Structure 1
Amino acid sequence: MRDAKTEELKNHVGHGVKVRMDDEGNILVKRVSKSNVYVKITSAGEDTSIGNDILKLSNCALEIDKPVKLFDMKKFQNNVSRELHRAYPDRRRLEVQCLSVMAFVKNEPELLDSPIWVLIINVVALDMLKSKLPPDDPYYCGLRARVPKFVNSKKNKTDGGPLSPKIPSFQPPHPNGGSKSLHPLHNQLPPKWHAGSFDSGMGVYSSLKTLLTPQD
């Protein structure tokens, strides 16, 4: 059951847009709706993979029945190459470019204020980014946590292998003056479970959260 306002906006959208990916990895979009369709810029300046034909349009409003590049793979590859030459590459800056957003009928300054909008996650570009710029060290990534490299290198220098910490034990005196043997697990500390969060694509969803959060 749709309310009257939703049905009205749906009629304005009509057939919306057609989206497809070509053999080169570009995402092409063609507006077939009679109402306006706006491409929202997710990153400013040169840090965008939106096609130049869209950026030249007023308010990035698509022209009807004219296919344009919503995502330019060659442009994205150039941005990745430029980012890798920086002293501290910013993976989030590149991940945001893999998100394409379109708003229908109305172009509101804040994305969440738009009545109808869609977001496309470019998995192909994310896979390419993963091969060029591996994710952050999983030491702090929940169930994927591992021992840091400097610990492994230190461990290799020792002949006796990894050393386990010795936990001091205390045995209370026996009432008859003798000694009583305790269970070997009596004085062991309880295990400390990892407090990190589960690894569920944290980079992408963090970028998406940043994109959808209104800025002051």
Structure 2
Amino acid sequence: MDFSIRPLSPAPPTPSGPQEIQALVESILEQDALPPIVQAGHPVLRQYAAPYDGQLDDATLLRLIDLMRRTMHEAPGVGLAAPQIGIPLQLAVLEDRFDVDPAAAATRERVPLDFLAILNPAYSALGPDTASFYEGCLSVRGYQAVVTRHRAVALEYLEPDGTPARAEFSGWQARIVQHETDHLHGALYLDRAETRSLAGNEEYMARWAQPGIDRAAAALGFPRS
């Protein structure tokens, strides 16, 4: 049985205006090194990011997307939202090309996800099915927790050139889409997590890194509804 999907509390909108966002992006792009990934407790992660509305010119936007992609790869991760590098803007990059254990890939419906940059994303469930798995976050280092998410979603977003787009995702790809979109709305995966499942990375790897979550649920006492 899957857990229920936990709703999110509304987040306050970012107080940053267009000029402040532009200046922040330019200062980050001027640095020689990749930007640090901000951690839980930073207010930018708890604000509803500003919808993209031309705050950056096309060349600057593409440079920012490239920087975010390189930062995601370096982490390494499968997604990165602009707030995770301190920019309160509704932009995220996604890509999953990792080789994973075939049993885990089958259980989690994890298949490669080609690179995608999304602006102003919003997702909706495709059907009632949910999936519950351990999940982590580059902005919550050192921990994993079980999160229940929609098994399949439709995503509406803007492409970097401003073209409206819609795509459907299922399995682990849908999880990545939901995780990164939640970031842009001021939420962390912990807001949707089963708190009794929370595990440090060492404990997770030693005890609960199976394809599914049944052993962890039985031992840690997850609520089943």
Q: TM-score, normalised by structure 1?
A: 0.24
> Which is greater in Rg?
1
- Greater RCO, CA 8 A, separation 6+: 2
Q: TM-score, normalised by structure 2?
A: 0.23
More strand by share: 2
